[in-house]
Structure 1
Amino acid sequence: MEQFIDLTIFNTLALFFIGLTGGIISGFIGASGAFVLTPAMMSLGIPGLIAVASNMAHKFPKALEGAYKRSKYGQVDLKLGLLMGVLAGIGMITGWYVMMYITQHFGQAGSDLYISITFIAVLTIVGGLVLRDGIFEKRGKGRFDSERETISKNPLARWVNSMRIPGTMITSDSLDNPISFLALAPIGFITGFIAMTIAVGGFIGVPAMMYILGLSAMVASATELVIAAIIGIAGSLLYSLDGLIDIRLSLLLMAGSFIGIQIGSTSATYAQDYVIKLTMATIMLLVLASRLFYIPGYLYELEIIQADGYSTFQTLNTAGANAIILALLVGNVIILYILYRGIRATAVADKMLQSAAEFLMVDDSPLVTNDGIGSQLSPLGRFERLLVASDGSDFSSAAVQAAVLMAKQCGAELHIMSLVPVGLEYEAIGENVLKQELEKCQTHLDEIQAQAKASGVDKCITHLVHGQTVHQEIIALGERLGVDVIVMGQRGRRGLARVMLGHATALVIGKAHCSVLVVPKGAKIQGRHFLVATDGSRFGDAAVITTNRLGLLYEAPVTVVSVTSPKQSEETRANAWQTVGRAAEHMYDNGVQVDTRTLEGQPAKVIVEFAKERNSDLIVTGSHGRTGLDRVLIGSTSEKILNDTPCSVLVVKAT
């Protein structure tokens, strides 16, 4: 078959545009946009095998870079990733033999048909699930209330996690319990097999690791990058041996995608979760439709169906090409429009809020903008100024109650903010509607302020903030005010698409320069017992110093814990005892009732279990609080603690 296409000016620009669009989609949805690349290249006249091979070659450098970055933040389970990568390799080799067999016996039409059918099957399942999740979320509904409930309601997950087959059990940092190797084998095999066929395997691997193995979204998506890198390197090697990689295509795709990712990730900050999901589903279903149009032509070339001429199939092929063009254009238009709308809305809101300022301006309730934002860390252990955001939901109500109690206990100044969602629609309907929205939010804030003052909080200040992205506005106001702690409610993620999306609480934890208190619904901090986890690092020391201050303010007993692994040396365990001993001595000298404990096992699991055993109402942990380009990375241990504990968690930042 004719392998490599001529790189005319049109083809060069088209391939760059395809890569650009794939990058924009990747940045916007927070996952691989490679599902548009192979079909788009095939519609351009590139044989399916060349498209798959070149797509795979362009992906693995990005996967390597992503895995390296995520590993620095403790998100990657390297052992599990390498093991799954080996299993995926077996699936890849099988997929390669299947692909070569089909090509040798049925030619390009056979391989193109096989690739198209695989795409149709995968996109039907994934696109349908994402569409369902987007519709449910738009309606305010969800299939599951939390990640843990997802596992508990999944019979397959319960069965897999209950398997105990001697000689096959393995452990890993991200697994709560030992799991049978036999459970990993089909996941890795199918991921590799699908990746070798369509150059996209993450849609299978990530959900499987989450819903079957019980990994958190952050760890699953990060570990998948290790698997993707292994698949990309091995797959590129296999295909290169047959001369199927067109490096020109790979470089053009890579050049476009690096630019597109920046655009897409910026646009995502202005989009609501359900909009991202519905956009993703729309693009997937259009790509699916484009492949459907090509199927009859492949069947005709294989002489499976008969016809008087090829004109009908040429018409269908043209329709398929138009469908993929429509998918690319629709994706770009939606994402770029959201970007434009977000930037424009900010400018419009600034102008209109300025004209409405006199309507609601009072001494202790200013309208806040994002000008002059600083980035200073508050001194460790200081609780003089707190910030809590309220939207009137049960989740934010729990955070408000916790913030009021903490402000009273610490004698702190309490700042309460509410976000006024503004956009281009206000430009059309006028200032009166904006004033009504502002008045409604201000009434809500006034009610909270009255409750806080009735509870004994001497200074409570309310803030109306305009904007569209909650976490950005919370962080901006916190830095402007120089708060010591931001108090957040905890809201569970729902559905398949949470694999690809960030979490507002995680975003605030990652990007805020101050400490963040996360309060689950129904949790209260009453000073029954505080638990602080330390590993002897400066992050752990910051947590200890902060807990020392809280222990004094609440007159609460404190336990300092450090976690070791059975595989660690006696010297490491001895160091753990020294770490908790040093921390306890510091607290004891400052008048805190303190004891120590070294725990053994998976850090998050044993910390949460010990907190439940002691009936702790607060866990304190340190965090580097760094962020990545695509999503915030807060560390797998901190994330698991936040997901699994019913009590409040204070994540302390260190300089």
Structure 2
Amino acid sequence: MPGARPALGVPLAAWARGERSLRVLLGLDFSPPSNAAVAWVRKLRTLGSCEVVAAHHYWGADAHVRYGVPLSPESEVTPEVEEALRRDLTARLGDMPGTGAVWVHLDPGLSRPAESLVALARKEEADLIVVGTHQRTGASKWWYGSVSQRIVHDAPVSVLCVPASAVSTLTIPEVRRVLAPTDLSEVGISAIRHAYSIVPAGGAVYLLHVLEPAGGAPPLSAQYLPPQGPVHTPEQERVAEVLRGLIPPEAAVRGITTRVEVVHGRKVSEAIHQAAERLGCDVICLATHGRSGLTKALLGSVAQEVLQASPRPVFLVRPQ
């Protein structure tokens, strides 16, 4: 069972009698323990009205790397990154049952996550903080520390700590968006039809090709091509037209939309990972190896690198 402080006191008693809403501060990130914390907040909302502030503390530079978006000298976090974070975090919350407002609070900064959550709990006058816990022990706990333990120690209100094991993961995931990277070789192209095969009606497939950056381009200079939108170079336009020619004719009939992405990246696997995060894809579908070409896309161990680094499911298609 998750651990909490001995009592919530008057607020919990009044909430249990249906006299008021419970103000809950939920620590939200992209980890399995956070998913477990979300599940427990859902359970609380089935018992009574809960106003939920889902707080995500992050470092702006890390978020820009995650989504492959260049840093801006004008602001710590660009609107594009904020929009992507809010989209992904809202998706992790899912449809919350019960009554009471639910909103996502983004908190960029260099402070520790525990300090940020405790300060926000005071500001929002929260009755309860709900966080996931990794349950680290020994050297791992000493090295990484424990965000949940620090919150329990410093928080002015009760804290519910939920381990990942507290919630069953036996649910069928929904696939709505699939990223299909290709190096335009025969093997690389063969994986595209498999990408369309796992997308239901109303879903989307993103066809991706990675170009080497122009000489002197910075690592985060990824530029992508919106569907039918303006291109940045003649080479991108040429590749975009090739990708559009690979769209199966029956895709539109099945209600599947297609978006073409042409990005620059020094490391192909990293560009694929960033595109999947930026576009909010549910699955990455690619061939296990490609053929070398001028763009050197999907060479050798790229598929293995994507498999090892991606937090999203990867569908590997073997050449036939």
If the length of structure 2 is used for normalisation, what is the TM-score? Answer: 0.40
When Rg is computed on C-alpha atoms for both structures, the one with the higher figure is 1
Which is richer in strand? 2
If the length of structure 1 is used for normalisation, what is the TM-score? Answer: 0.20
